[in-house]
Structure formats: C-alpha cells, structure tokens
C-alpha cells in the first residue's frame, strides 16, 4: 500500500507510522525504495530508525547501499549498534556471520533458575526467540543450551548447569549460509547458535532468516539451471539492459559451443548428400540426448544440494547411471529402429539410428550426471550444470557418435 503512494506523500505517511511499525515496514521494502525513504529523513529520524531495526536487517541494508551512504549512516549509530554492524560486516559475503543477529538471551551456568528467570523477564522483550536460551561462560564461550520449558519447570534453587543440555547443532560465523539451512533442516531447529573460531557465541540465526536464504538459494539455482546469472533484485526492479547483461554471457558462450555442432555437420556433408535420409534423424537423436542429459543433471543437482548424494559417492553413482542409461537408451532404441526402417527405407538405416540412439542417450545420461559432480568438486554451484549447457555439449557429442556409427555401418 505504501508503494502505491507517490512521493512526497509516501514519506509523509512513513513518518506518521509509530517507531515499532516503521522499522518493520522499512525492512520489507526493496533497496531502491529504502534509499528514497532514507534520502527524505532527517539525521535524527534516520538514527531512530536504524536503532530500532533488527541487527541482521540493518546489516543487510548497509550491504546494499553505496559506500559513501553507508559510511554516513554508520556515523549516526550509537556506539553499541556501530560495534554490532562493523562486527557483522567483517564476515565474508553470504556467510552465516552476515546473517546472525545479536538479539538473543544468554545465561550463565552458575546462575540459579531463579536468577535466569529474572534475567528473562528483564531482557526477554529484546530477544528474537525465547524458546532456547544459550549458556555461556564469562568469556562468552558457548557451553550448552537450555529450553525455556525446562527453566520454567525446574526448582528455583537449581543451577542452570543442571538444567542445560549439550549443544547438538551450531554453525561457524564463517560457514556459508547454505550450511545453516542444512543444519536447521537436519535438527529441525527454530534457531541456531553462531560461534567464531574460538567457540565464542557471536549471535544466532533464526528460522525466518533461514527461510529468506532458502528462497534466495532456490531462486539462484532456478536461474542457473536456465543459464541466467542470478538476479540480485526482483525482475520488476531490474532494467531491460541489466536483464540483458544477466543473460547474454551464457548465450554467447553457448553460441560458441554450438559452432562445433555446425562444424561437425559440415565435415560430414558428403555423407549426408549420399544418404539424405540420415539428415531426417538428426533432430530426433539430438533432442533425445539433450532431454536425457537435462533430466540426469537436474536429478544430480538436487541430490547434491540436499546431501542425498556426496562427492565421494561419484563412482557408485556413475555405475548406477550406466545401468539407467543402458535401460533408457535400449528402450528408445527400439522405437528409433522402426522409425529408421519406415523413414530410412531400409533395415541398415534403422540399425544406425537405433545404435546411435542407445549410445547418445547413454553418453548424455553420464554427462548430465557428471557435470554437477565436477562443479561441486571445483567448489562451484552444481546448478551451473544447466539444461542449455548440457544440451549444447550433447549436441556436439551426439553428432559425432551418430556420424561415426553411420560411417562404419554404411561404409561411407
């Protein structure tokens, strides 16, 4: 609704919002709209807005702004908030440290349950979650966790150390955000503690943050499987030229790859002239190979991303896919054989098409399965094994296989 109001009325409406509501509304706005709002606020209003924002939302804001504006905003923060932001911004891009919030509750193992409850009453309003409390020593090293339910039901004079449990799930501040997603899914947790290399608790990541990361990662994978560079903003916000830049790189690369297909066809021009029926089956064979390779690649990308399959299981997966490829290729080869007889006017052409179909499908299946493993091994996103990429590589390989088999069986 706010975005439907023209400036400067939009800024006026935003100023009328209460402090508790304004920072939540601001966090949901896209980067360009946030820039407009910030440009119209006074220093005092900006300072109040930044102070009321959650630390992770505030850090995300600073990451998206130009450097000079970021520096100006940093000067408006209170000392505690400034230390938080600079600490969070010190971690690698897309690391868990950038995602962590310092709005959590920590208690001491030597406290009594009564002391812990008193601390919860005084500080709980500022915490993102009260389901789990984090037990730290005086050096802020994480020693354990305590569920709020256990604290409430325990006797007041019991020690926190008697109620707490070992830490079963935690992530390093330097881990990739995807690692937090995997850990939260694995342990079905609503929040995860984030520690540095010394085991010091520097914050937590919560389910709502993880959901945002998961959505971003899935969106990136979808873009990469279509050979499009990931969009950092919504499609609606990007200009036509920016969308062009996201797509042209891969298309130009694939155009270069496809030149090899044209070269292969040109090198067998005499064969096609002598047996014109061979040309009829090229689209059929190449399309079948491309479809098979794309299927295999998509299955492997998903299996690798969800840890259903690991890089160390490459060989066993390869052997499995050989069997699958032989079954797929054999089944399609039967149909291709009869098509070859009918359209090629002879059993020999039918055999050429059938053998080519079986070989192309097998090779395409193994190629589609292997590329995601290769990208993962190289520390790259396996989703880069996109359908257009697989199809382009299979085009070249398939034509070589087809013409090789034809030249041998037809003595050309």
- 290 and 170 in one domain? no
Strands 142-147 and 132-136: what pairing?
A: antiparallel
- 377 and 283 in one domain? yes
Task: Give the pLDDT confidence score for residue 243 in this predicted structure.
Answer: 77
- 247 and 158 in one domain? no
Q: How many domains are contained in the chain?
A: 3
- 334 and 266 in one domain? yes
Please choose, from the candidates 135, 150, 58, the residue with its C-alpha nearest in 3D space to the C-alpha of residue 99: 58
Q: What is the mean pLDDT of residues 174-199?
A: 83
Q: CATH no. for residue 60? A: 1.25.60.10
The winner for highest mean pLDDT among 196-210, 270-284, 315-329 is 315-329
- pLDDT range class, residue 42, cuts 50, 70, 90: confident
Q: CATH no. for residue 137? A: 3.10.580.10
Q: What is the mean pLDDT of residues 342-369?
A: 88
pLDDT, tens only, 223-281: 666 666 666 666 677 778 887 887 787 778 777 777 777 788 788 888 877 888 888 88
Check if the beta carbon of residue 334 is closer than 8 Å to that of residue 374. Answer: no
Q: How far apart are CA 56 and CA 62, in angstroms?
A: 10
Please choose, from the candidates 361, 357, 330, the residue with its C-alpha nearest in 3D space to the C-alpha of residue 344: 357
What is the longest distance spanned by two Cα atoms in the chain?
96
Q: Say which DSSP state 157 is in.
A: T
Q: Say which DSSP state 313 is in.
A: G
Domain termination site, one of 25, 57, 90: 90
Check if the beta carbon of residue 353 is closer than 8 Å to that of residue 339. Answer: yes
Q: How far apart are CA 112 and CA 118, in angstroms?
A: 10
- What token pair was written down for 37? 């709002």
| Residue 221 within a domain | no
| Residue 271 within a domain | yes
Which residue is it, tokens 């390779």?
Answer: 293
- 351 and 247 in one domain? yes
Q: Starting at the earlier edge strand, list the strands of the sheet with 142-147.
A: 106-107, 132-136, 142-147
Domain termination site, one of 160, 183, 206: 206
- 35 and 116 in one domain? no
Handedness of CA 2, 6, 7, 12 (dihedral sign): negative
| Residue 162 within a domain | yes
- 198 and 279 in one domain? no
- Name the region of 160 (left: φ>0; alpha: ψ -120 to 50; beta: rest): alpha
Task: Give the pLDDT confidence score for residue 112 in this predicted structure.
Answer: 93
Q: Mean pLDDT lowest for which of 69-83, 108-122, 365-379?
A: 69-83
Task: Give the pLDDT confidence score for residue 191 in this predicted structure.
Answer: 85
- 274 and 194 in one domain? no
Any residues with CB less than 8 A from the CB of 316 and at least 6 apart, and which?
none
Any residues with CB less than 8 A from the CB of 116 and at least 6 apart, and which?
107, 133, 146, 151, 160
Check if the beta carbon of residue 345 is closer than 8 Å to that of residue 277. Answer: yes
Please choose, from the candidates 75, 26, 34, 86, the residue with its C-alpha nearest in 3D space to the C-alpha of residue 54: 26
- 172 and 82 in one domain? no
Domain termination site, one of 36, 57, 90: 90
| Residue 99 within a domain | no
Check if the beta carbon of residue 354 is closer than 8 Å to that of residue 337. Answer: yes
- 404 and 273 in one domain? yes
Task: Give the pLDDT confidence score for residue 334 in this predicted structure.
Answer: 92
Which residue is it, tokens 């707490």?
Answer: 164
User: Can you give the C-alpha Rg of the chain in angstroms?
Assistant: 29
Classified as helix, coil or strand, 328 is helix
- pLDDT range class, residue 328, cuts 50, 70, 90: very high
| Residue 351 within a domain | yes
Helix residue ranges, H only, 174-237: 177-187, 207-225
Q: Starting at the earlier edge strand, list the strands of the sheet with 201-206.
A: 171-172, 191-195, 201-206
Q: What is the mean pLDDT of residues 60-86?
A: 63
Asked whether residue 358 carries a pLDDT value surpassing 80, the answer given is: yes
- 82 and 126 in one domain? no
Q: Say which DSSP state 229 is in.
A: P
Question: For residue 13, what are the domain limits?
Answer: 2-90
The enclosing H or E element of 203 equals strand 201-206
Please choose, from the candidates 79, 6, 20, the residue with its C-alpha nearest in 3D space to the C-alpha of residue 49: 20
CA 205 from centre of chain: 17
pLDDT, tens only, 287-320: 899 889 888 988 888 888 777 888 889 999 999 9
Asked whether residue 2 carries a pLDDT value surpassing 60, the answer given is: no
| Residue 17 within a domain | yes
Task: Give the pLDDT confidence score for residue 158 in this predicted structure.
Answer: 92
Q: How far apart are CA 124 and CA 122, in angstroms?
A: 6
| Residue 235 within a domain | no
Percent of the chain with pLDDT strictly greater than 90:
19
| Residue 213 within a domain | no
Reported pTM: 0.58
- 307 and 189 in one domain? no
Check if the beta carbon of residue 355 is closer than 8 Å to that of residue 407. Answer: no
Q: CATH no. for residue 305? A: 1.10.357.20
Check if the beta carbon of residue 178 is closer than 8 Å to that of residue 157. Answer: no
């Amino acid at each position: 609704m706010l975005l439907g109001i023209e400036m400067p009325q939009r800024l006026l409406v935003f100023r009328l919002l209460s402090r508790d509501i304004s920072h939540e509304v601001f966090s949901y706005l896209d980067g360009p709209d946030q820039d407009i709002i910030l440009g119209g606020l006074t220093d005092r209003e900006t300072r109040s807005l930044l102070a009321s924002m959650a630390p992770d939302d505030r850090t995300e804001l600073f990451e998206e702004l130009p450097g000079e504006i970021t520096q100006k905003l940093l000067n408006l923060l209170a000392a505690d908030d400034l230390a938080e932001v600079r600490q969070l911004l010190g971690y690698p891009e897309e690391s868990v440290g950038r995602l962590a919030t310092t709005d959590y509750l920590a208690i001491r193992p030597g406290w009594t349950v009564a002391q812990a409850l008193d601390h919860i009453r005084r500080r709980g309003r500022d915490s993102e979650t009260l389901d789990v409390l984090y037990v730290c020593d005086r050096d802020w090293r994480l020693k354990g966790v305590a569920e709020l339910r256990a604290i409430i039901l325990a006797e007041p004079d019991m020690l926190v150390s008697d109620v707490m449990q070992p830490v079963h799930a935690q992530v390093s501040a330097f881990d990739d955000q995807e690692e937090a997603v995997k850990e939260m899914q694995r342990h079905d947790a609503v929040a995860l503690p984030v520690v540095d290399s010394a085991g010091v608790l520097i914050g937590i990541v919560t389910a709502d943050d993880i959901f945002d990361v998961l959505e971003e990662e899935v969106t990136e994978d979808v873009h990469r499987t279509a050979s499009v560079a990931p969009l950092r903003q919504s499609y609606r916000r990007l200009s036509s030229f920016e969308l062009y830049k996201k797509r042209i790189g891969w298309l130009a690369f694939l155009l270069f790859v496809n030149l090899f297909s044209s070269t292969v066809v040109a090198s067998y021009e005499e064969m096609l002239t002598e047996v014109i029926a061979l040309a009829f089956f090229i689209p059929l064979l190449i399309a079948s190979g491309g479809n098979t390779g794309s299927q295999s690649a998509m299955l492997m990308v998903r299996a690798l991303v969800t840890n259903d399959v690991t890089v160390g299981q490459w060989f066993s997966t390869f052997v499995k896919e050989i069997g699958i490829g032989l079954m797929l290729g054999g089944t399609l080869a039967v149909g291709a054989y009869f098509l070859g007889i009918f359209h090629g006017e002879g059993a020999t052409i039918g055999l050429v098409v059938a053998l080519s179909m079986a070989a192309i499908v097998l090779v395409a299946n193994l190629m589609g399965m292997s590329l995601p493993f290769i990208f993962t091994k190289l520390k790259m996103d396996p989703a880069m094994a996109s359908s257009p990429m697989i199809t382009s590589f299979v085009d070249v390989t398939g034509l070589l296989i087809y013409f090789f088999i034809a030249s041998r069986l037809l003595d050309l």
